[in-house]
């Protein structure tokens, strides 16, 4: 048998087998190059906003330094008044002896409308945590009945930071809570060695957290392989370093800051969701974490001695696919006051499937 393969346009092929022509056509995909900004729900690409917690507070638990919600162990060894560690006051919730599947319950004396609040804030002290095997799931309930979904605290903090307190901020909208709650459930959902941690200063806050995402058209499929972050600040980006025989200049950049902005407290959370589930997540508080945590590069720094612009780029080895109809998107949440920057935008370079 003799066989020849002829390649045609738009995915077409033709085989010549023993003198007979066999034709086949496969579906082709055409792309349109596109760059997309991450934008707020109002459509603004400016990420230099104030995402710090504001407004009224309803305290949930602070290790019983105050009389707030009542802590109880549904299963496992929890200490709700531990004096071993404390972010403030003298006590915190101790979860260093928990096992997989253990649950704690924080109960309010009367129900509260969670819809009247925007974020849950608190502090966590990680003693042990495996990012691939450990989760600390938080959810809301009313009279023992779940309201909304659970959120993994590990998706919103720096899980590599051990033996130090770090604040966190969770958007209420992520929980999908639509009404009253009177219980908060903390669940250890893990395989292998469970995590060990402390919790303190957990509160409901009326304001805080500014979210950004890609504005994908209905039914659109967008693929990207590069993310660029551009920041501008009224900041002298040039430092003079005195040497033994001469003076030299270099970039005046701190690894734990973004230009002249004070070090972030809770940081920015970036998440990729597929089928509306979090696939990857990271939290950054400064230039160093943006570069090392995401394999990024400092592309350029431009300064006139008064204002400075910084460009950070993250490249991907393959295309990252987002399907709007499947609930896919890339999200960023600003949890601190970043209005000190003159400008801050994030853009994705990629391509969109032609419909």
Q: Looking at per-residue confidence, does 241 or 7 come out higher?
A: 241
Structure tokens at 57: 């507070």
Alpha helices (runs of H) in the chain, residue ranges in sequence order: 172-175, 287-292
Mean pLDDT within 311-331: 95
Give the model confidence (pLDDT) of 127-159 as tens digits: 999 998 999 999 999 999 988 899 999 999 999
Strand partners, 61: 202
d(CA 326, CA 216): 12
d(CA 89, CA 63): 9
Assess contact for 184 and 104: CB atoms under 8 A.
Answer: no
Mean pLDDT over all residues of the chain? 90
Quickly state the pLDDT bin for 1 (edges 50, 70, 90).
very low
pLDDT for the residue 5: 45
Answer yes or no: is pLDDT of 205 > 70: yes
Q: Which residues contact 277 (CB under 8 A, 6 or more apart)?
A: none
pLDDT for the residue 18: 60
Give the model confidence (pLDDT) of 220-238 as tens digits: 999 999 999 999 999 987 7
Q: Which residues contact 197 (CB under 8 A, 6 or more apart)?
A: 95, 96, 124, 125, 126, 127, 128, 129, 136
Give the model confidence (pLDDT) of 40-64 as tens digits: 999 999 999 999 999 999 999 999 9
Assess contact for 104 and 157: CB atoms under 8 A.
Answer: no
d(CA 228, CA 214): 14
Give the model confidence (pLDDT) of 108-124 as tens digits: 999 999 999 999 999 99
Mean pLDDT within 162-183: 94
Quickly state the pLDDT bin for 73 (edges 50, 70, 90).
very high
Give the CA count within 13 Å in the CB-facing half-sphere of 233. Answer: 22
- For the range 308-311, what are the long-range contacts, defined as Cβ-Cβ under 8 Å and sequence gap of 24 or more? 308/232, 308/233, 308/235, 308/236, 308/237, 308/259, 308/260, 309/230, 309/231, 309/232, 310/230, 310/231, 310/232, 310/233, 310/237, 310/253, 310/258, 310/259, 311/228, 311/229, 311/230
pLDDT for the residue 4: 45
Please state the pTM of the whole predicted model: 0.85
Give the model confidence (pLDDT) of 268-308 as tens digits: 999 999 998 889 888 999 999 999 876 789 999 998 889 99
Kindly tell me the sign of the dihedral angle through the C-alpha atoms of 261, 312, 343, 332: negative
d(CA 100, CA 281): 22
d(CA 200, CA 290): 27
For the chain, list the domains and their CATH numbers. 31-52+210-353 (2.60.120), 54-207 (2.60.120.260)
Assess contact for 310 and 253: CB atoms under 8 A.
Answer: yes
Give the model confidence (pLDDT) of 2-35 as tens digits: 444 444 544 555 555 566 656 555 567 899 999 9
d(CA 263, CA 265): 6
Q: 76-88 burial, b if ≥16 CB within 10 A, otherwise e?
A: bebbbebeebbbe
- Which of 152, 146, 191, 187 lies closest to 170, judged by CA? 152
Assess contact for 145 and 184: CB atoms under 8 A.
Answer: no
Mean pLDDT within 169-174: 94
293 DSSP assignment: T
- Which of 100, 324, 66 lies closest to 219, judged by CA? 324
Percent of the chain whose predicted confidence (pLDDT) is above 90: 75
Mean pLDDT within 317-338: 96
pLDDT for the residue 2: 45
């Amino acid at each position: 048998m003799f066989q020849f393969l002829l390649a045609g346009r738009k995915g077409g092929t033709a085989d010549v087998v023993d003198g007979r022509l066999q034709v086949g056509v496969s579906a082709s995909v055409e792309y349109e190059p596109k760059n997309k900004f991450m934008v707020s729900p109002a459509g603004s690409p400016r990420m230099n906003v104030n995402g710090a917690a504001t407004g009224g507070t309803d305290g949930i638990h602070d290790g019983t330094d105050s009389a707030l919600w009542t802590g109880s162990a549904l299963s496992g060894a929890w200490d709700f008044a531990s004096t071993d560690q404390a972010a403030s006051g003298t006590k915190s919730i101790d979860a260093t002896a928990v096992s997989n599947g253990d649950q704690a319950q924080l109960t309010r004396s009367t129900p509260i409308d969670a819809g009247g609040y925007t974020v849950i804030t608190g502090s966590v002290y990680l003693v042990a945590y495996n990012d691939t095997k450990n989760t600390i799931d938080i959810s809301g309930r009313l009279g023992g009945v779940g309201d909304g979904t659970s959120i993994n605290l590990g998706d919103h903090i720096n899980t590599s930071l051990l033996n130090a307190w770090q604040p966190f901020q969770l958007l209420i909208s992520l929980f999908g809570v639509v009404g009253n709650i009177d219980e908060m459930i903390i669940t250890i959902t893990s395989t292998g060695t469970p995590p060990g941690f402390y919790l303190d200063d957990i509160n409901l806050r009326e304001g805080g957290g500014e979210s950004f995402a890609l504005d994908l058209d209905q039914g659109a499929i967008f693929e990207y392989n590069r993310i660029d972050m551009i920041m501008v600040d009224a900041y002298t980006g040039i430092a003079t370093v005195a040497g033994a025989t001469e003076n030299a200049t270099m970039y005046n950049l701190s690894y734990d800051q973004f230009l002249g902005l004070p070090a972030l407290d809770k940081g920015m959370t970036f998440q990729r969701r597929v089928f509306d589930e979090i696939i990857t997540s990271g939290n950054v508080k400064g230039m160093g974490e943006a570069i090392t945590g995401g394999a990024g590069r400092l592309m350029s720094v431009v300064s006139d001695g008064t204002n400075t612009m910084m460009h950070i780029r993250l490249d991907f080895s393959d295309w990252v696919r987002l399907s709007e109809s499947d609930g896919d998107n890339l999200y960023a949440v600003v949890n601190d006051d970043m209005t000190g920057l003159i400008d801050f935008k994030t853009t994705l370079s990629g391509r969109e499937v032609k419909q």
